[in-house]
Amino acid sequence: MADALIHPSAVIEPGAQIGAGVRIGPFCVVGPKVRLADGVELKSHVVVTGDTSVGEGTVIFPFASIGEVPQDLKFKGEDVRLQIGARNRIREYVTMNPGTAGGGSITTVGDDGLFMASSHVGHDCRIGDRVILANSVAIAGHCVLEDDVIVGGLSGVHQWVRIGRGAMIGAVTMVTADVIPYGLVQGPRGHLDGLNLIGLKRRGATRSDIAALRSLLGDLGRGSFRDTARTRAEAQVTGMERDVLDFILGPSDRSFLAPKPE
Protein backbone atom coordinates (compact mmCIF):
# COMPACT_ATOMS: atom_id res chain seq x y z
CA MET A 1 0.00 0.00 0.00
CA ALA A 2 2.97 2.28 -0.58
CA ASP A 3 1.88 5.92 -0.93
CA ALA A 4 -1.80 4.90 -1.01
CA LEU A 5 -4.28 7.36 0.46
CA ILE A 6 -7.07 5.45 2.19
CA HIS A 7 -9.93 7.10 4.09
CA PRO A 8 -10.34 5.78 7.66
CA SER A 9 -13.92 4.68 6.97
CA ALA A 10 -12.93 2.45 4.02
CA VAL A 11 -12.82 -1.33 4.56
CA ILE A 12 -9.82 -3.03 2.95
CA GLU A 13 -10.01 -6.76 3.58
CA PRO A 14 -6.80 -8.71 4.29
CA GLY A 15 -5.27 -10.05 1.08
CA ALA A 16 -6.23 -7.11 -1.13
CA GLN A 17 -3.32 -5.80 -3.21
CA ILE A 18 -3.15 -2.01 -3.34
CA GLY A 19 -0.72 -0.32 -5.74
CA ALA A 20 1.27 2.86 -5.34
CA GLY A 21 -0.64 6.12 -5.36
CA VAL A 22 -4.06 4.49 -5.01
CA ARG A 23 -6.77 6.72 -3.53
CA ILE A 24 -9.69 5.09 -1.70
CA GLY A 25 -12.41 7.41 -0.49
CA PRO A 26 -14.97 7.22 2.32
CA PHE A 27 -17.04 4.07 2.88
CA CYS A 28 -15.50 2.01 0.09
CA VAL A 29 -15.19 -1.78 0.44
CA VAL A 30 -12.33 -3.69 -1.20
CA GLY A 31 -12.45 -7.50 -1.07
CA PRO A 32 -9.61 -9.90 -0.23
CA LYS A 33 -8.92 -11.01 -3.84
CA VAL A 34 -8.97 -7.54 -5.37
CA ARG A 35 -5.92 -6.05 -7.07
CA LEU A 36 -5.82 -2.29 -7.59
CA ALA A 37 -2.95 -1.18 -9.83
CA ASP A 38 -0.97 2.02 -9.36
CA GLY A 39 -2.97 5.23 -9.47
CA VAL A 40 -6.46 3.70 -9.23
CA GLU A 41 -9.00 5.93 -7.53
CA LEU A 42 -12.20 4.83 -5.78
CA LYS A 43 -14.17 8.02 -5.12
CA SER A 44 -16.50 6.94 -2.28
CA HIS A 45 -19.08 4.24 -1.49
CA VAL A 46 -17.53 1.95 -4.12
CA VAL A 47 -17.61 -1.85 -3.74
CA VAL A 48 -14.91 -3.85 -5.50
CA THR A 49 -15.08 -7.54 -4.69
CA GLY A 50 -14.41 -11.03 -6.04
CA ASP A 51 -11.29 -11.99 -8.00
CA THR A 52 -11.07 -8.59 -9.65
CA SER A 53 -8.14 -6.65 -11.07
CA VAL A 54 -8.38 -2.95 -11.90
CA GLY A 55 -5.77 -1.43 -14.21
CA GLU A 56 -3.54 1.56 -13.69
CA GLY A 57 -5.18 4.98 -13.51
CA THR A 58 -8.79 3.76 -13.62
CA VAL A 59 -11.25 5.92 -11.67
CA ILE A 60 -14.44 4.45 -10.18
CA PHE A 61 -17.18 6.80 -9.04
CA PRO A 62 -19.62 6.53 -6.10
CA PHE A 63 -21.99 3.58 -5.68
CA ALA A 64 -20.48 1.42 -8.42
CA SER A 65 -20.52 -2.33 -7.76
CA ILE A 66 -17.59 -4.06 -9.41
CA GLY A 67 -16.91 -7.82 -9.34
CA GLU A 68 -20.01 -9.00 -7.50
CA VAL A 69 -21.26 -12.49 -8.43
CA PRO A 70 -22.80 -12.96 -11.92
CA GLN A 71 -26.53 -12.47 -12.45
CA ASP A 72 -26.85 -16.04 -13.68
CA LEU A 73 -28.89 -18.66 -11.83
CA LYS A 74 -26.46 -21.35 -13.03
CA PHE A 75 -23.63 -19.78 -11.03
CA LYS A 76 -22.76 -21.97 -8.06
CA GLY A 77 -19.77 -20.16 -6.58
CA GLU A 78 -17.08 -21.28 -9.03
CA ASP A 79 -13.73 -19.47 -9.22
CA VAL A 80 -14.33 -16.68 -11.75
CA ARG A 81 -12.62 -13.41 -12.59
CA LEU A 82 -13.16 -9.82 -13.72
CA GLN A 83 -10.24 -8.07 -15.40
CA ILE A 84 -10.47 -4.31 -16.01
CA GLY A 85 -7.81 -2.43 -17.97
CA ALA A 86 -6.12 0.93 -17.52
CA ARG A 87 -7.43 4.49 -17.51
CA ASN A 88 -11.13 3.64 -17.55
CA ARG A 89 -13.78 5.96 -16.18
CA ILE A 90 -16.47 3.96 -14.41
CA ARG A 91 -19.27 6.26 -13.34
CA GLU A 92 -21.97 6.16 -10.68
CA TYR A 93 -24.03 2.97 -10.17
CA VAL A 94 -22.16 1.00 -12.84
CA THR A 95 -22.19 -2.78 -12.38
CA MET A 96 -19.63 -5.17 -13.83
CA ASN A 97 -19.80 -8.92 -13.21
CA PRO A 98 -17.14 -11.63 -13.50
CA GLY A 99 -17.42 -14.64 -15.78
CA THR A 100 -19.11 -18.00 -15.29
CA ALA A 101 -17.81 -21.52 -15.72
CA GLY A 102 -20.01 -21.94 -18.78
CA GLY A 103 -18.54 -18.87 -20.49
CA GLY A 104 -14.82 -19.14 -19.86
CA SER A 105 -14.83 -17.93 -16.23
CA ILE A 106 -13.66 -14.39 -17.04
CA THR A 107 -15.05 -11.00 -18.03
CA THR A 108 -12.56 -8.60 -19.58
CA VAL A 109 -12.70 -4.84 -20.06
CA GLY A 110 -10.01 -3.08 -22.10
CA ASP A 111 -8.31 0.29 -21.67
CA ASP A 112 -9.50 3.91 -21.91
CA GLY A 113 -13.22 3.18 -21.74
CA LEU A 114 -16.04 5.38 -20.46
CA PHE A 115 -18.89 3.61 -18.68
CA MET A 116 -21.53 6.20 -17.87
CA ALA A 117 -23.94 6.15 -14.95
CA SER A 118 -25.99 2.99 -14.37
CA SER A 119 -24.48 1.04 -17.27
CA HIS A 120 -23.98 -2.71 -16.90
CA VAL A 121 -21.40 -5.20 -18.21
CA GLY A 122 -22.65 -8.76 -17.81
CA HIS A 123 -20.83 -12.00 -17.17
CA ASP A 124 -18.36 -13.45 -19.70
CA CYS A 125 -18.29 -10.27 -21.80
CA ARG A 126 -15.23 -9.10 -23.70
CA ILE A 127 -15.11 -5.33 -23.95
CA GLY A 128 -12.38 -3.75 -26.09
CA ASP A 129 -10.42 -0.52 -25.81
CA ARG A 130 -11.95 2.98 -25.98
CA VAL A 131 -15.50 1.65 -25.65
CA ILE A 132 -18.19 4.11 -24.54
CA LEU A 133 -21.40 2.95 -22.87
CA ALA A 134 -23.79 5.86 -22.32
CA ASN A 135 -26.20 6.14 -19.39
CA SER A 136 -28.24 3.03 -18.51
CA VAL A 137 -26.84 0.81 -21.26
CA ALA A 138 -27.18 -2.91 -20.47
CA ILE A 139 -24.75 -5.40 -22.02
CA ALA A 140 -25.99 -8.96 -21.42
CA GLY A 141 -23.77 -11.97 -20.80
CA HIS A 142 -21.34 -13.47 -23.34
CA CYS A 143 -21.23 -10.35 -25.55
CA VAL A 144 -18.19 -9.06 -27.44
CA LEU A 145 -17.71 -5.33 -28.04
CA GLU A 146 -14.61 -4.68 -30.11
CA ASP A 147 -12.46 -1.52 -29.94
CA ASP A 148 -14.01 1.94 -30.36
CA VAL A 149 -17.65 0.83 -30.05
CA ILE A 150 -20.15 3.45 -28.83
CA VAL A 151 -23.54 2.46 -27.41
CA GLY A 152 -26.15 5.20 -26.97
CA GLY A 153 -28.14 5.73 -23.80
CA LEU A 154 -30.91 3.40 -22.65
CA SER A 155 -29.90 0.74 -25.17
CA GLY A 156 -29.68 -2.99 -24.57
CA VAL A 157 -27.49 -5.66 -26.15
CA HIS A 158 -28.82 -9.23 -26.13
CA GLN A 159 -26.65 -12.07 -24.83
CA TRP A 160 -24.13 -13.67 -27.24
CA VAL A 161 -24.12 -10.64 -29.58
CA ARG A 162 -20.89 -9.37 -31.17
CA ILE A 163 -20.42 -5.70 -32.08
CA GLY A 164 -17.55 -5.03 -34.46
CA ARG A 165 -14.89 -2.37 -34.06
CA GLY A 166 -15.92 1.22 -34.67
CA ALA A 167 -19.65 0.48 -34.73
CA MET A 168 -22.21 2.81 -33.19
CA ILE A 169 -25.53 1.94 -31.58
CA GLY A 170 -28.09 4.74 -31.44
CA ALA A 171 -29.93 5.62 -28.24
CA VAL A 172 -32.92 3.54 -27.08
CA THR A 173 -32.01 0.62 -29.35
CA MET A 174 -32.39 -3.10 -28.65
CA VAL A 175 -29.62 -5.03 -30.39
CA THR A 176 -30.49 -8.70 -30.86
CA ALA A 177 -27.92 -9.81 -33.46
CA ASP A 178 -24.34 -9.11 -34.53
CA VAL A 179 -23.29 -5.69 -35.80
CA ILE A 180 -20.61 -5.42 -38.49
CA PRO A 181 -17.54 -3.23 -37.91
CA TYR A 182 -18.18 0.48 -38.58
CA GLY A 183 -21.93 -0.16 -38.82
CA LEU A 184 -24.66 2.13 -37.51
CA VAL A 185 -27.60 0.43 -35.81
CA GLN A 186 -30.63 2.23 -34.41
CA GLY A 187 -34.32 1.72 -33.73
CA PRO A 188 -36.48 0.02 -31.08
CA ARG A 189 -35.44 -3.32 -32.62
CA GLY A 190 -32.09 -2.45 -34.11
CA HIS A 191 -31.41 -2.87 -37.83
CA LEU A 192 -28.32 -2.02 -39.78
CA ASP A 193 -28.87 1.53 -41.05
CA GLY A 194 -25.67 2.28 -42.94
CA LEU A 195 -22.20 3.21 -41.74
CA ASN A 196 -21.01 5.03 -38.64
CA LEU A 197 -19.72 7.90 -40.79
CA ILE A 198 -18.84 10.19 -37.89
CA GLY A 199 -16.81 7.45 -36.23
CA LEU A 200 -15.08 6.58 -39.51
CA LYS A 201 -14.06 10.18 -40.11
CA ARG A 202 -12.74 10.46 -36.56
CA ARG A 203 -10.64 7.36 -37.22
CA GLY A 204 -9.13 8.97 -40.31
CA ALA A 205 -11.00 6.97 -42.94
CA THR A 206 -10.48 8.32 -46.46
CA ARG A 207 -13.18 8.89 -49.06
CA SER A 208 -12.02 5.76 -50.86
CA ASP A 209 -12.30 3.76 -47.59
CA ILE A 210 -15.88 4.95 -47.11
CA ALA A 211 -16.79 4.35 -50.76
CA ALA A 212 -15.44 0.80 -50.56
CA LEU A 213 -17.43 0.11 -47.38
CA ARG A 214 -20.61 1.50 -48.96
CA SER A 215 -20.09 -0.72 -52.00
CA LEU A 216 -19.58 -3.72 -49.74
CA LEU A 217 -22.77 -2.96 -47.76
CA GLY A 218 -24.69 -2.68 -51.03
CA ASP A 219 -23.50 -6.11 -52.11
CA LEU A 220 -24.24 -7.62 -48.71
CA GLY A 221 -27.77 -6.21 -48.77
CA ARG A 222 -28.56 -7.98 -52.03
CA GLY A 223 -27.93 -11.51 -50.80
CA SER A 224 -26.85 -13.73 -47.94
CA PHE A 225 -24.34 -11.96 -45.71
CA ARG A 226 -22.09 -15.00 -45.41
CA ASP A 227 -22.30 -16.17 -49.02
CA THR A 228 -21.60 -12.67 -50.32
CA ALA A 229 -18.80 -12.20 -47.80
CA ARG A 230 -17.14 -15.45 -48.89
CA THR A 231 -17.22 -14.30 -52.50
CA ARG A 232 -15.83 -10.86 -51.68
CA ALA A 233 -13.18 -12.35 -49.39
CA GLU A 234 -11.67 -14.17 -52.36
CA ALA A 235 -10.73 -10.80 -53.83
CA GLN A 236 -7.66 -8.92 -52.64
CA VAL A 237 -9.43 -6.55 -50.26
CA THR A 238 -7.61 -4.91 -47.38
CA GLY A 239 -8.12 -2.46 -44.53
CA MET A 240 -11.62 -1.71 -43.36
CA GLU A 241 -13.28 -3.95 -45.95
CA ARG A 242 -11.21 -6.84 -44.65
CA ASP A 243 -12.28 -5.99 -41.07
CA VAL A 244 -15.94 -6.36 -42.08
CA LEU A 245 -15.43 -9.57 -44.06
CA ASP A 246 -13.36 -11.22 -41.33
CA PHE A 247 -16.04 -10.31 -38.80
CA ILE A 248 -18.87 -11.77 -40.87
CA LEU A 249 -16.98 -14.98 -41.59
CA GLY A 250 -15.85 -15.36 -37.98
CA PRO A 251 -17.54 -17.50 -35.34
CA SER A 252 -20.92 -16.33 -34.10
CA ASP A 253 -23.62 -17.65 -31.81
CA ARG A 254 -26.31 -15.46 -33.35
CA SER A 255 -27.54 -14.56 -36.83
CA PHE A 256 -26.54 -11.28 -38.41
CA LEU A 257 -28.78 -8.29 -38.54
CA ALA A 258 -31.52 -8.69 -41.12
CA PRO A 259 -31.98 -5.94 -43.71
CA LYS A 260 -34.04 -3.02 -42.50
CA PRO A 261 -37.73 -3.67 -43.25
CA GLU A 262 -39.45 -1.61 -45.92
- Is 45 designated active site? no
Please report the sign of the dihedral spanned by the C-alpha atoms of residue 54, residue 59, residue 65, residue 71.
negative
**Catalytic residue among 72, 123, 183, 199, which?**
123
Q: Taking Cα atoms as reference points, which of 248, 252, 198, 193 lies closest to residue 225? A: 248
CA distance linking residue 51 with residue 81, whole number of Å: 5
Q: Nearest 5°: phi and psi at 17?
A: -105, 120
**Catalytic residue among 111, 112, 124, 148, which?**
124
Please report the sign of the dihedral spanned by the C-alpha atoms of residue 222, residue 224, residue 227, residue 228.
positive
Give the relative orientation of helices 239-249 and 225-233 as an angle to the nearest 10 degrees. Answer: 130
**Catalytic residue among 141, 156, 166, 170, which?**
141
- Is 124 designated active site? yes
Three-state DSSP class for residue 227: helix
- Is 25 designated active site? no
Q: Taking Cα atoms as reference points, which of 70, 72, 46, 73 lies closest to residue 58? A: 46
Q: Output the CA angle 84-90-96, nearest 5 degrees.
A: 55
Active site amino acids? 123-124, 141
